[in-house]
Copies of this chain bind each other. A is one copy, B any other.
Amino acid sequence: MQSVAPFQEIINTEIHRRLALPQFQEPKGLYAPCEYILKNGGKRVRASLVLMAAKMFCHDYHKALPVALAFETFHNFTLIHDDIMDNADVRRGQPTVHVKWNTNTAILSGDAVMIMAYSFFEDAKDFVPSLFSLLNKTALEVCEGQQYDIDLELADLHEKWVSEDVYLTMIKLKTSVLIAACLKAGAIIGGANSHDAELLYQFGINVGIAFQLQDDLLDTYGNYETFGKKIGGDIAVNKKTYLVIKTLELLDSKSKQEFCSLYSSSYSYQDKYEKVLSIFDSLNIKQITQQKVDSYFKQAQECLELLHIDTALKANLYEFMNDLQNRAY
């Protein structure tokens, strides 16, 4: 992801510097897993977005670093706990914390990583209460998103409340609000007016939802080489993706019954994939989802266009959106 590359080194350097501070050393049983998740840190998208947004409105965007780190660190906390809840073994190509250590260690070090996020926030010069409030609000929303995800996971496909609306709320809370908050926080630190800060928030919401819907699409229709995951994985584990929820909405009552049986069946991987795909295809699910993705990206673009700043300053965020949009099939 080219757009975040220029910020990654600044962020990584600062994370490494902080992890070496005396207060984050002992007991090792607590801090080694914290260091493990924070150093094996992925693309640093969230922290980059804080810096990127700040840079649009001021030269001295490094001052946003503590808040950037806070949001990035908060994100890493959610990964540790989500991986326990989702029973996930691998994260960023490495064993997850609860697999490498154990569940108790993952609970406790996850807690510590969340508190570290708040302690990084402490160093924001000229503490802005609205930023603290944004962090808290967003953090709770991310928990709400995870709860909706769990509720959806446990729900029966027949249940009435399993709807497109609930699904969109879930991905908005689970993913988009954090991206949106990073952009808004950066904008506030950079000195943006509240109108522009809000536009960036909405840009983040739209980009986040588009990204997640695209993820659903790529899991079924993508290309292994470019997507990096086995295609059809969601179908194999009966995941309630946007494609499935849209399908349920479009089928008549009898066909819906049949689809539910098929989707929870124990057909072989290839067999089930092909049968589900033929139903998706008969309903134009790929096209419908792609249109939805495009519409969210379009709304995101409109937010960027409305920003009251020089077009050249928007280049970074256009590039970021293109990076996401161009994930190939």
Q: Tell me if A129 is interfacial: C-beta within 8 Å of chain B.
A: yes
A118-B118, A122-B133 known; A111-B26 Cβ under 8 A: no
| CB–CB B115/A139 < 8 A | yes
Give the contact stretch, choosing among A143-151, A282-290, A297-305, A309-317. A143-151
Is A162 positioned at the interface, with any CB of B under 8 Å from its CB?
no
A137 at the interface (CB under 8 A from B): yes
Check: A218 CB closer than 8 A to any chain B CB: no
In whole Å, how far is A151's beta carbon from the nearest beta carbon of chain B? 6
Cβ of A6 within 8 Å of any chain B Cβ, yes or no, is no
* A114 on the B face (CB < 8 A): yes
Contacts of A208-259 to chain B: CB distance below 8 A: none
A4 nearest CB across to chain B (Å): 26
| A146 contact from B108, B133, B136, Cβ within 8 A | B108
Say if the beta carbon of A265 comes within 8 Å of chain B.
no
Min Cβ gap A248→B in Å is 21
Integer count of this chain's copies in the complex: 2
Q: Which DSSP category, helix, strand, loop or mixed, fits chain A's interface? A: helix
Closest CB of chain B to A24's CB: distance in Å?
A: 8
Interface size class of A (residues with CB under 8 A): 35 or more
CA distance A259 to B172 in the complex (A): 59
Contact across chains for B81 and A144 when beta carbons are under 8 A apart: no
Complex: chain B residue closest to A128, CB-CB:
B127
| Complex Cα gap A172–B132 (Å) | 29
Nearest opposing residue in chain B for A133, CB measure: B122
Is A140 a contact of B23 with CB atoms below 8 Å?
yes
Beyond A85-B107, A104-B150: 9 further Cβ-contacts under 8 Å? A26-B144, A29-B150, A30-B143, A103-B103, A111-B114, A111-B143, A114-B115, A118-B139, A119-B140
Sampled A-B contacts (30; CB under 8 Å): A23-B140, A26-B144, A27-B144, A27-B147, A27-B151, A29-B147, A30-B147, A81-B107, A81-B108, A104-B150, A107-B107, A108-B147, A110-B111, A111-B111, A111-B114, A111-B143, A112-B140, A112-B143, A115-B136, A115-B139, A116-B140, A118-B118, A118-B132, A118-B135, A118-B136, A119-B136, A122-B129, A122-B136, A127-B127, A127-B132
